[in-house]
Amino acid sequence: MENSASWAQRPLYVVLFNTDEEGSDQPIRWEPFGAGEPGTVPHHLDGAVAAALPALWYCLHLPNDLTQLLDLPATVITALQRLDLSHDILLMPTNLFTEMRVRALAKATQPMLVICPDDQLDQVAPISASLGFALAAIGFSRLSDESLREHWRQIHRHHLPNQPYLGREPNLPGRLDLAPAALPTRWLARQYSDKPWAEIGTDSEIDSLVKEAIRLLLINAATNALDQAGATPEEASARWDDTIAQQFKRFSPVIAVSMPGVPASYSRMALSAGARSRVRRMPPLDPEDTWSLEIGTRPDSLAERAAIELVVTRRAVGRGGIGIPLPEVPQDAFTQLAELERHLEGTVNSAKVWRMLEKLNHAANVSWTPGVLTAISRASMIYAYTNFPIGLLRLPSDSAPLMTRVPIAYRPVMPLTRTLQLELSRSPGIILRRRCKVLVAECIPTSDPVGVASRQGWDVSEQYFAGQAPLVELERIEALSIAELRAAIKAHKPDILVISAHGSLSRDSNIAALVIGEDLCLGPELDEVPPVVILSACYTAPRGRAIVGVADLLLRQGALAVLGTQVPVDVRQNATLMVRFFVYIGEVLAGRESHSNLLEVWHRTQTSNAINDVLWSSRSLHDWGMSRTESGSSVLAEFMERWSVGRLRRGHIYSDTETVLCEMAESMGVGPQVRNWLKRPGYVPESFFYVFVGRPDLIYFDDPFGEAGFA
């Protein structure tokens, strides 16, 4: 692996906050959060950090990249949309800044501006100047539309003194609930309109803003296509409508969504009686609430929503995409999800699982308005800032959940202080190129039948990768204690760590852990972990009871991306899925498959696993799937190589898989038997219940800056 290097340094903004408290971002709490602690409830945002939210929002209205100071051609804008150019914002306590802890980072960036509490300005200002920040430090109370315009002018004079000033500076946000869609839209409109920013994206409904974002993205795409074709102005005018229609067919924006909320069961387990009372008394969030310097002193609901929409907006701006704030998760949806997870712990009825998924979809009560539906259904990927698995929800026209349509990277929003710290930190990503080192840690004793089955599955992987060297190097070790696992990680230094273990879900607490030998492991016990961790275990990322899960906690230990499970998984099916995942990684490294990052490879693996979910559902279906056709190939091979090619639609992959299998069965003279097996016993879509948390989109297979033309 190697780091991805930016083609240019980007502005660094530092926001400081005062705190003498431990804060409410601690990963593991063995006692309830009390009513008198400094953090908000229920998402746990530190009070001092909440006071800094206006400064963080202010930074989002400054240039995320120095190209923002220029009029850009459509070709450059399109190239930039392939990169992650999210604002570099360092959120840190004032005392760490005054101790010069930021010096090394300032040297690797374009240090631009420090914003701090008013009472610290005299102390912070000289340090800011000594570290080379281009603009003078400023206190919270001086932030305004006027200061924002002046900062834009100063940044331009500092970095582009010989270039004409573009003007059209932004204004600070109005309604917080519209900001995730409004700000990215204004960012793009600035290149295509002479209107003041205050007049752009002023619609009062999120759907109108999303439609405007789609319109502007299509204008840019069509302009880029015509520029690339060398069209004259006259030719471009004549071909405009057709080009827009062509671009709409291939329209695939990056989407960032928020869907806050925690289940009541979490509050009962994790909050004191006083804290639960605070939640009950909290007024509902008023859509008319606006950005102000008093965010940190307003009700918890406003502070928490402002923090969540902040990270959504930052991500949408940085990816040239669209931010969509969805309503809070209804409690009934969490209840339905918890019931689904519990059902999958016992004797599973496949028909009931599908009915429960439908109930879950209904309970979530998402209003898929026309603009939002267009954006979501055509998304190239979704960043989901939520504790709820939105990938299990179904779009109105689909027969299978959203996760079968689009890759989803989950970003946990609890505790919210930690979310801000992780989300605002710079992460250029990692490049997997030519060689990938995988360490498989077997943490289940060989006396356990599950341990035996797991090892048999990895035997198959080992045989495959023996012929793929040096693309994928697979090492397997036995680790029956946390100490052994920790030592193996340090010794092998893998790119990808697979932990094959049991999962532990405590019903009387909010903890979901791994079982390493006989030890419970929540993540911190392992010290640092590799960039990618795959948890081949049950219960590592449950969501129905807002469990504190090991998958989320491993992000704190250095993992960029963690693949986890919501429910118990069959060890044989899990082994098949993992083998396929690594096969596709090998195919990409060998140049035989084309995917830009690990999230795309996982989505390819997860969605194409529908056939295995079906065939593993019963001995009869499995035996038929392994039987030979007249061509000499197995039914499974014929399905994958010939019958299903081009016929499995996004959002319908399971129903289409059934259709193709029934056609194959009819051609073999066993149509009635196969149709009956598909109904009784039916099948459980086990592949639905895996989630990728963190930043799997930043695990690249080639340098994204090179691909965008900025190498």
DSSP one-letter string for 624-642:
HHHSB-TTSSBHHHHIIII
678 neighbors 658 (Cβ within 8 angstroms): yes
386 neighbors 259 (Cβ within 8 angstroms): yes
281 neighbors 38 (Cβ within 8 angstroms): no
Phi-psi region of 320 (alpha: psi -120 to 50; beta: other; left: phi over 0): left
User: What is residue 109's predicted lDDT score, i.e. its pLDDT?
Assistant: 77
User: What is residue 598's predicted lDDT score, i.e. its pLDDT?
Assistant: 96
CB burial class (10 A; 0-12, 13-18, 19+) of residue 540? buried
176 neighbors 309 (Cβ within 8 angstroms): yes
Q: Which residue is listed with tokens 């639905």?
A: 688
534 neighbors 563 (Cβ within 8 angstroms): yes
Q: How far apart are CA 430 and CA 4, in angstroms?
A: 6
| Structural element, H or E, at residue 472 | strand 472-478
User: What is residue 380's predicted lDDT score, i.e. its pLDDT?
Assistant: 96
429 neighbors 3 (Cβ within 8 angstroms): yes
In a 3-state reduction of DSSP, which class is residue 271? strand
User: What is residue 329's predicted lDDT score, i.e. its pLDDT?
Assistant: 94
CA distances to 67, 165, 419, 504, 518 from 513, rounded to whole Å, are 45, 55, 20, 5, 12
Q: Which residue is listed with tokens 């530092």?
A: 14
User: What is residue 293's predicted lDDT score, i.e. its pLDDT?
Assistant: 41
Amino acid at 305: R
Return the domain boundaries, the chain.
Answer: 331-364, 430-591, 618-682
Residues of the chain falling short of pLDDT 50: 4-7, 30, 287, 290-297
CATH fold group of domain 430-591: Rossmann fold (3.40.50)
User: What is residue 133's predicted lDDT score, i.e. its pLDDT?
Assistant: 93
User: What is residue 669's predicted lDDT score, i.e. its pLDDT?
Assistant: 94
Eight-state DSSP code of residue 44: -
